[in-house]
Amino acid sequence: MPRKVFDGVDYDDGYDDDYDYDDLDDADYYGKAQPSEPVKETIKRGTWSCPICTYDNDESMTACDICGVFRNPLPHMNNNHDKKTATAKTSDSSSAKTQWSKTNNVEDNNHVKDGVLRLQANNKASASSSISKESIPSMESSSKLSTGNEQLGDQVSGASSRRNRMGEGTPSVEEIRPQSHNRGMSKSDLPSKSRAPYKPEKWMLPEKEGSDLNQLNLAIVGHVDSGKSTLSGRLLHLLGRISQKQMHKYEKEAKIQGKGSFAYAWALDESPEERERGITMTVGVAYFDTKNYHVVVLDSPGHKDFIPNMISGATQADAAILVIDASIGSFEAGVDPTKGQTREHAQLIRSFGVDQLIVAINKMDVVEYSKERYDTIKQKLGAFLRLCGFKDLSVLWIPLSAMENQNLVSASSDARLRSWYQGPHLLDAIDSLQPPTRDISKPVVMPVCDVVKSQSTGQVSAIGKLASGALRSGSKVLVMPSGDVGTVRSLERDSRPCTVARAGDNVSVVLHGVEETNIMSGDVLCHPEFPVPTAKHVELKVLVLDGSAPIVIGSQLEFHVHHAKEAARVVKIISLLDPKTGKASKKTPRCLVAKQSAILEVVLNGSVCAEEYSNCKALGRVSLRSLGRTVAVGVITRLIED
C-alpha cells in the first residue's frame, strides 16, 4: 500500500514516493559522532555517559550504544572479538559502522519501494523464476520472465538476498541452503536467562484504556484473481486513502498497458512485474481506520507460487477476509483440492490462529447478484470452513462486487442484491469483529519478517509484528538465533515515527549495535534476559491437508514457523489422533494420509527460533510444505534436545 497515502491529506503530488526512510535519521548523526575536539564523557559508577547524546552506556562499551561515538578515552580492556558474548557484540559498534559504510551498495529501504511496504518471504528473483509458463497463461515469453527477474534482482537488498535460505517456490528440499545453522549461538554463549519472573515496566502498558483505536491486522486471502487487490484498492479509495487524482492516474496508466480492469489493484500491486502480469507477488500493506479499528490490510498473493509470501503476511493476521470469485467455474477452480488456493489459504490462516473470518463473495455482478449462486457457495464453502475449525458464529458472509462498488462501505444500491440481502456491508462486518487480545504483559517477542539496511546511514532495520511485550527507543533487544544484542534506536509504525510499540503493532525497528550479517528474515527480536528458544528437532501435532501425498518416515518437507523456513525430515510418526477426541488412536502408523491428525517428530537442517505453542502461539504454529503445496498444518508440542 502506498505509505504516502497515510502520511497526510495532500495527495496532489501524484504518486511520486515522498516517503524517505532516512527522514527519520539525522543525516549528520555519524558525522557529528567524530568531533574534531575530543570530548570527555562523564563517567558514573558502572556506566559512562556519551558526550554527544548523553546516553548512559554500560561500562563495558567502547562506543555509545545509541549514537556510536567512541568512548574517549578508550578503557583498557581485553576485547576478544572471537568470543561471541552478547556484550562484546554490542560493544563492537565501531566495526559494525565501518562495515556499513563499506558495504553501502544496496537500495535504501527496498521494501517500501514506490511507497509500498512489501512483505516477502524470500527474494523475489527466486520466486519469479519458479513460475512456469503454464501457471500464468498471460506470460508471453520466458525472456520476459528473465527480464523481470533481473529487475527484481536489482531491487533485492543485501539483507534480502541473504534471506534466500530456501528458494521460494522451489520445492526441492535439496536446493535448500539454510544459513541459520552457522549463525546460531551455542547455549553457553547466550545471555543467561533471567530466573526472576518477568514484570512489565510501566511505560509498556497502554496509557489509557481505549485511548487509541485498536489495531486489527487483516489478511486479505483467496484464490488467484478472486479480486483481493481490487477489493483492497476500492476500500482504500472509498475511505479516502487514495485521492481521486491518484485514482485517475492509476486508471489512465492501467488502460495504456491494456490492463484497465486492474486500476484499483494497482494501488497494491506496485511493481512493474506485478502490473504487467496482473498478479500480486508480495504482500502489500495498507492502512485505514474504521469506527472501532485501525486496520492494517495485508493484501496477499493468491498465486500458488507465492504462497510463502502469503504465509509471511498471514502469520501476522488477527482476522482475515477470504475473497471468493462468484463467477461460474471460478469458485469451483478456487476450491479444487489440487489446483485451487481457496482451501489452502483457509487452512493456513486457521493454522496461524485466525478464528474470525469474513467471506467476501466477490464479483457478484458477474452472476447477476444471484441469491442461488450465493447460497450454493455458502453451503459448499461453509462445510469446508467448519472442517478447518472455523465456528459458524465467527464466519460472516458478505455478497459484494468490488468492481461495481456494491456492499463495500454502504448498503448495496443494486436492486437485485437488495431484494434478498439486507445484512451488514463489508465495513460494518470489519467493525463487528472482536478485538484481538494482546500479550503486553509478557517479554517482548518480535518475529522478523524483513531486514532493511539504509544505504545512506548503514542502519539496519528489522520489520515485523510484535507478538508480545513492548519496545521503545533505547530498549535493549537480543537477536536470535545469532545472539547479537542491540539497542532500539527508533521505531516506525504506519510509516511514521512512534515512541512505543506494543504487542500487535507492525513496526520497523531501527537497530543499533546489530550487524547486518547477524539478522535476517526468520530471526526473532526478544528481551535479552528472556531469550526465545531455538530448536532443530521438534515434536508436532499436525493435520494432513486434502490432496496431500502420504507422509512417511523420511519424508523431506519444508518447515515454516513464523517467518522462518528450514528443510526438514520426518523422523518419527508417534501416533494418529482421533479427530473427535484428539486422543492417540493408533501408535506408530506407517504413514499419514489426507485429513489425518497425528503427532510426529521432524528434524530440521538448521536451528530456528521456535517455542511450544502452549507457551508462545506466534513461535509455535507451523506449516509443512512439499512440492509447492502445504501438506500439513499444526503446532509445536515439544522442543527436543538431542
Residue span binding ligand GTP (CB under 6 A) among the ranges 58-66, 295-303, 504-512, 607-615: 295-303
Q: Does 297 bind ligand GTP (CB under 6 A)?
A: no
Gap between the Cα atoms of 465 and 436, Å rounded: 14
Gap between the Cα atoms of 559 and 351, Å rounded: 14
Among 91, 229, 351, 454, binds ligand GTP (CB under 6 A): 229
Contact 623, 560 (CB under 8 A): yes
Residue span binding Mg ion (CB under 5 A) among the ranges 65-73, 153-161, 275-283, 471-479: 275-283
Size of interface with Mg ion, in residues (CB under 5 A): 3
Q: Of residues 279-338, which lie at the interface with Mg ion (CB under 5 A)? A: 280
Q: Does 228 bind ligand GTP (CB under 6 A)?
A: yes
Residue span binding ligand GTP (CB under 6 A) among the ranges 112-120, 261-269, 312-320, 532-540: 261-269
And the C-alpha cell for 396?
Answer: 460472516
Residue span binding ligand GTP (CB under 6 A) among the ranges 127-135, 260-268, 382-390, 512-520: 260-268
What torsion, rounded to 10 degrees, do the Cα atoms 642, 554, 624, 324 define?
-170
User: Which is closer to Mg ion, CB of 229 or CB of 312?
Assistant: 229
Contact 585, 563 (CB under 8 A): no
* Alpha helices per DSSP H over 220-271: 228-238, 244-256
* Binding-site partner at residue 262 among ligand GTP, Mg ion, none, CB < 5 to 8 Å by type: ligand GTP
- Rounded to the nearest whole angstrom, what is the least distance from the CB of residue 111 to ligand GTP in the complex? 18
Residue span binding ligand GTP (CB under 6 A) among the ranges 147-155, 297-305, 435-443, 600-608: 297-305
Q: Does 229 bind Mg ion (CB under 5 A)?
A: yes
Q: Does 225 bind ligand GTP (CB under 6 A)?
A: yes
- 37-46, long-range: CB < 8 A, 24+ apart: 38/72, 39/72, 40/72, 40/73, 41/71, 41/72
* Binding-site partner at residue 261 among Mg ion, ligand GTP, none, CB < 5 to 8 Å by type: ligand GTP
What torsion, rounded to 10 degrees, do the Cα atoms 195, 198, 201, 206 define?
170
Among 228, 234, 476, 560, binds Mg ion (CB under 5 A): 228
Size of interface with ligand GTP, in residues (CB under 6 A): 23
User: Which is closer to ligand GTP, CB of 358 or CB of 510?
Assistant: 358
Q: Does 4 bind ligand GTP (CB under 6 A)?
A: no
User: Could you give the string, one character per residue 298-317, with x where binding to ligand GTP holds by CB under 6 A and - elsewhere?
Assistant: ---xxx--------------
CA distances from 351 to 5, 78, 635, 639 (A): 32, 49, 8, 19
Q: Does 275 bind Mg ion (CB under 5 A)?
A: no
Per-residue b/e over 494-522, b at no fewer than 16 CB within 10 Å? bbeebebbbbbbbbbbbbbbbbbbbbbbb
* Alpha helices per DSSP H over 413-562: 415-418, 426-431
Tell me the backbone φ, ψ of residue 300, rounded to 5 degrees: -90, 155
353: left (phi over 0), alpha (psi -120 to 50) or beta: left
Gap between the Cα atoms of 296 and 283, Å rounded: 12
Q: Does 226 bind ligand GTP (CB under 6 A)?
A: yes
- Rounded to the nearest whole angstrom, what is the least distance from the CB of residue 130 to ligand GTP in the complex? 15
- Residue 46 DSSP one-character state: T
Gap between the Cα atoms of 413 and 407, Å rounded: 8
**What does the radius of gyration of the chain's CA atoms come to, in whole angstroms?**
25
Gap between the Cα atoms of 570 and 562, Å rounded: 20
Among 271, 330, 356, 401, binds ligand GTP (CB under 6 A): 401
Q: Does 219 bind ligand GTP (CB under 6 A)?
A: no
Q: Does 366 bind ligand GTP (CB under 6 A)?
A: yes
Gap between the Cα atoms of 487 and 56, Å rounded: 12
Of residues 470, 467, 522, 527, the one with CA closest to residue 498: 470
Q: Does 124 bind ligand GTP (CB under 6 A)?
A: no
User: Which is closer to ligand GTP, CB of 230 or CB of 626?
Assistant: 230
- Rounded to the nearest whole angstrom, what is the least distance from the CB of residue 226 to Mg ion in the complex? 9
Q: Does 356 bind ligand GTP (CB under 6 A)?
A: no
Q: Does 262 bind ligand GTP (CB under 6 A)?
A: yes
User: Which is closer to ligand GTP, CB of 279 or CB of 503?
Assistant: 279
Site residues (vs Mg ion, CB under 5 A): 228-229, 280
Site residues (vs ligand GTP, CB under 6 A): 222, 224-230, 261-262, 265, 279-280, 301-303, 362-363, 365-366, 401-403
